[in-house]
Chain A
Amino acid sequence: MGTEYRVMGLFTDENRAVSAIEAIKDSPWPLRRVHSPVPSHKISDALRLKKSKVGYFTLAGGIAGFFAGFLLAAFTASQWNLVVSGKPVIALVPFFIVGFEFTILFAVFGNVAGLIHQMQLPEFTGLEEYDPRCSGEHFGILAACKADELEGLKAFFQTRGGEINIFSEKQEHP
């Protein structure tokens, strides 16, 4: 069982951060996380991130919402079974409006559920290996290394113009 160090390279320039990400992928040090103050297409491309699946939750919510809204309106109308203004008891046009509003509402619920599920929030343990500068103007690249590789990893970030933040070591699982 060895000791693993977590080293974060902090860059103020997005392009430098991207080139460091590209370079670290060819290095022996595993990349753990990248933090940025803004969403960055360049970083997404460098990390070859796949498209998020949040949309499936949104779609599922929307479909469920339409039927929930329409069926709710149909159910309440059928409880009275009374013709109003010459409209059929199960009137398609007005109930479509209710269905539409419920579509939006449930799609948003699905979207929020998808975000919570996919981003795994709330989650406070991530703050343990996090540099507050990453919410300001720094792009943070967190990589792991063994004790004897620490200097090498520090040098890797420093030569690329990054500042260093070393987090307390973690025990690797045997």
Chain B
Amino acid sequence: MNELTFAKIDQTVLDTLKPPDRSYWLTVGILFAGALAGAACWIYQILTGIGVAGMNNPVGWGTYLINFVFWVGIAHSGTLISAILHLLRAGWRNPIARAAETMTVFAVCIAGLFPFIHLGRVWLVFYMLPIPNQRNLWQNFQSPLMFDVVAISTYLTVSSLFWYTGMLPDLAIVRDRATGIRKKIFTVISLGWTGAHEQWRHYARGYLFFAALATPLVISVHSVVSWDFALAVVPGWHTTIFAPYFVAGAIHSGLAMVLTLMIPIRKLFHYEEIITVKVLESVAKTIIFTGLIVGFAYGTEFFIAWYSQNPVEMAIFKYRPTGDFALGFWIMVVCNTIIPLLFFFKKIRTTIPWLFGISICVNIGMWYERFVIIITSVSRDFIPHAWGLYSPTMIEFGIMLGAFCLFFFFFLLFVKHLPSVSMTEMKETVEQGAGHGD
């Protein structure tokens, strides 16, 4: 392999910003149409009423909140890669950090939509804002749902600022190579960055603080999401393991999504020398680790249900693998804990189709994990005569499809208009002579 140089890094990344061909715009158009279809489903739901979704007693929380938790989870590995691995000085995170951070920002945006969609009367969403009002109503911050409003808003704000600040030196690189209107735009958004020593002095310090602040935030946000469930006295939810279990699961799904996104980008944009197989292998190794934690959490839930000898708790954990939603349970177990074990074999974790295929399996498995947690618990509450079943309607599937399309639509726009690999961090890696996976 040829040695990476500063010039080669710049050239490889800047080549990705060249005007795209027709197939790119066609894909963007299809994704936009998918997002519009989702929006149409939501508008129909607003006009008709929340009854068009499949949620009803006793299952009042359905796919909207499954998707909310799923997308918040996807968002987590971006911060893991950009902040935690930055503090740990893991060189392999540099080639994928930018894409992972971008994934975080877009995934939080998508996640943030779902509580709105879940509201029957979305136009009353401002009730959640602590502002003086004639109703004399104020929020009760003892509720985990209010913790969630604060945590998700904080996470979106912090991850967006972290993402933009990290991109400043790269925006200047694009500015310095651009012409015409593009140069003007990048001059403004790079804020006049010149890489002067005074700028670097403050920037390096500020970036370190960003990473140090984002690390506890990322852990707190999914802990708070888990408390939406754990603080409710519902069998299957009311457990202290939820916070670490959710955080590990979030990172597990996020890392899988990083592989799902980075493998096609690597191929399309000829990033093979920057995003090496060794980098992808490092992600795969981390997936083994998070998969084992998730598997341990699944086992612990069953153990505690048996150990407590609480009949309601035991019943729900018998119901999950054998009841009406058993298929979802077994998809969850196999995709999240068994299939990732294949990464123990070097040949598999260094083969691109295997990496891609397993990452898709983990994504599916993690979606089903949220399905199993939410649906099985509320469908079999304490009182047998109040039990019920749940199946999503076409409206819910439409909104879910729209959300996926919107996420990939944003991501596709990003990779062609902004640097999808951090040129500056790659140069730092080369400068320090630290391996990034060679």
Chain A residues in the interface with B (C-beta under 8 A): 14, 33-40, 43-44, 47, 49, 51-52, 54-55, 58, 62, 69, 72-73, 75-77, 79-80, 84-85, 87, 91, 94-95, 97-98, 100-102, 104-105, 107-108, 111-112, 114-115, 118-119, 121-127, 130, 132-137
Residue interface mask B126-166, A partner, CB < 8 A = 1: 00001000001011111000110011011001100110010
Give the B interface residue count (CB, 8 A): 57
When the two chains form the complex, which single residue of B141, B197, B216 contacts A104, counting CB atoms closer than 8 Å?
A: B216
Q: Could you tell me the distance in whole angstroms from the C-beta of A18 to the nearest C-beta in chain B?
A: 12
A54 partner residues in chain B, CB cutoff 8 A: 202, 205-206, 209
Q: A119-B198, A137-B6 are in contact. Are A76 and B192 (CB under 8 A)?
A: no
Instruction: Specify which of A37, A98, A100, A130 lies most central, judged by the most chain B CB atoms within 10 Å of its CB.
Output: A37
Chain B residues in the interface with A (C-beta under 8 A): 5-7, 10, 130, 136, 138-142, 146-147, 150-151, 153-154, 157-158, 161-162, 165, 169, 172-173, 175-177, 187-188, 191-206, 209-210, 213, 216-217, 220, 224, 424, 427-428, 431
Q: Can you add 9 more A-B contacts, CB < 8 Å, to A39-B200, A72-B130, A107-B213?
A: A35-B195, A52-B204, A79-B136, A79-B138, A87-B142, A105-B158, A121-B193, A126-B194, A137-B6
Q: How far is B150's CA from A55's CA once the two chains are assembled, in angstroms?
A: 24
B210 partner residues in chain A, CB cutoff 8 A: 108, 111
Decide: B142 and A85 in contact? CB cutoff 8 A. yes
When the two chains form the complex, which single residue of A34, A51, A121 contacts B192, counting CB atoms closer than 8 Å?
A: A121
CB nearest neighbor in B for A108:
B158
When the two chains form the complex, which single residue of A14, A33, A62, A77 contacts B141, counting CB atoms closer than 8 Å?
A: A77
Q: Could you tell me the distance in whole angstroms from the C-beta of B226 to the nearest C-beta in chain A?
A: 12
When the two chains form the complex, which single residue of B153, B196, B216 contacts A34, counting CB atoms closer than 8 Å?
A: B196
Q: How far is B437's CA from A2's CA once the two chains are assembled, in angstroms?
A: 55
B158 partner residues in chain A, CB cutoff 8 A: 104-105, 108
CB nearest neighbor in A for B5:
A137
B177 partner residues in chain A, CB cutoff 8 A: 132
A121 partner residues in chain B, CB cutoff 8 A: 191-193, 199
Q: Could you tell me the distance in whole angstroms from the C-beta of A20 to the nearest C-beta in chain B?
A: 13
Decide: A108 and B157 in contact? CB cutoff 8 A. yes
Decide: A98 and B150 in contact? CB cutoff 8 A. yes
Q: How far is B194's CA from A34's CA once the two chains are assembled, in angstroms?
A: 10
Decide: A105 and B154 in contact? CB cutoff 8 A. yes
A69 partner residues in chain B, CB cutoff 8 A: 150
When the two chains form the complex, which single residue of A80, A101, A132 contacts B150, counting CB atoms closer than 8 Å?
A: A101
Decide: A39 and B203 in contact? CB cutoff 8 A. yes
**Ranked 7 nearest A-B pairs via Cβ:** A132-B176, A137-B6, A73-B141, A76-B138, A52-B205, A122-B191, A118-B202
B220 partner residues in chain A, CB cutoff 8 A: 97, 100-101, 104
B203 partner residues in chain A, CB cutoff 8 A: 39, 115, 119
B151 partner residues in chain A, CB cutoff 8 A: 101
A-B contact pairs, 8 of them (CB 8 A): A33-B197, A35-B197, A38-B431, A58-B213, A76-B138, A94-B141, A98-B150, A107-B213
Q: How far is B209's CA from A51's CA once the two chains are assembled, in angstroms?
A: 13
Q: How far is B157's CA from A101's CA once the two chains are assembled, in angstroms?
A: 12
Q: How far is B169's CA from A119's CA once the two chains are assembled, in angstroms?
A: 13
B197 partner residues in chain A, CB cutoff 8 A: 33-36, 43-44, 47, 49
A114 partner residues in chain B, CB cutoff 8 A: 202, 206
Q: How far is B165's CA from A114's CA once the two chains are assembled, in angstroms?
A: 12
Tally of contacts, chain A with chain B, CB under 8 A: 174
Q: Could you tell me the distance in whole angstroms from the C-beta of B52 to the nearest C-beta in chain A?
A: 33
When the two chains form the complex, which single residue of A38, A52, A107, A124 contacts B202, counting CB atoms closer than 8 Å?
A: A52
Decide: B142 and A123 in contact? CB cutoff 8 A. no
Decide: A101 and B165 in contact? CB cutoff 8 A. no
Instruction: Specify which of A84, A87, A111, A137 lies most central, judged by the most chain B CB atoms within 10 Å of its CB.
Output: A111
Main secondary structure of the interface of B (DSSP, over half): helix
Q: A33-B197, A80-B140, A112-B161 are in contact. Are A39 and B204 (CB under 8 A)?
A: yes
CB nearest neighbor in B for A75:
B138
Q: A39-B203, A98-B147 are in contact. Are A135 and B176 (CB under 8 A)?
A: yes
B427 partner residues in chain A, CB cutoff 8 A: 37-38
Q: How far is B169's CA from A40's CA once the two chains are assembled, in angstroms?
A: 14
A85 partner residues in chain B, CB cutoff 8 A: 142
B6 partner residues in chain A, CB cutoff 8 A: 37, 136-137
Q: How far is B163's CA from A108's CA once the two chains are assembled, in angstroms?
A: 12
Q: How far is B213's CA from A105's CA once the two chains are assembled, in angstroms?
A: 9
CB nearest neighbor in A for B177:
A132
Q: How far is B130's CA from A85's CA once the two chains are assembled, in angstroms?
A: 22
Q: Could you tell me the distance in whole angstroms from the C-beta of B27 to the nearest C-beta in chain A?
A: 31
Q: How far is B136's CA from A100's CA once the two chains are assembled, in angstroms?
A: 26
Q: How far is B140's CA from A114's CA once the two chains are assembled, in angstroms?
A: 33
When the two chains form the complex, which single residue of B139, B187, B199, B424 contacts A127, counting CB atoms closer than 8 Å?
A: B187
CB nearest neighbor in B for A121:
B191
When the two chains form the complex, which single residue of A39, A76, A87, A104 contacts B213, counting CB atoms closer than 8 Å?
A: A104
Q: Could you tell me the distance in whole angstroms from the C-beta of A139 to the nearest C-beta in chain B?
A: 9
A37 partner residues in chain B, CB cutoff 8 A: 6, 169, 173, 195, 424, 427
When the two chains form the complex, which single residue of B139, B187, B206 contacts A115, counting CB atoms closer than 8 Å?
A: B206
Q: How far is B139's CA from A150's CA once the two chains are assembled, in angstroms?
A: 69
B428 partner residues in chain A, CB cutoff 8 A: 38-39
Q: Could you tell me the distance in whole angstroms from the C-beta of A110 to the nearest C-beta in chain B?
A: 9
CB nearest neighbor in A for B216:
A104
Q: Could you tell me the distance in whole angstroms from the C-beta of A65 to the nearest C-beta in chain B?
A: 10
A98 partner residues in chain B, CB cutoff 8 A: 141, 146-147, 150
A51 partner residues in chain B, CB cutoff 8 A: 205
Instruction: Specify which of B139, B191, B206, B427 lies most central, judged by the most chain A CB atoms within 10 Å of its CB.
Output: B206
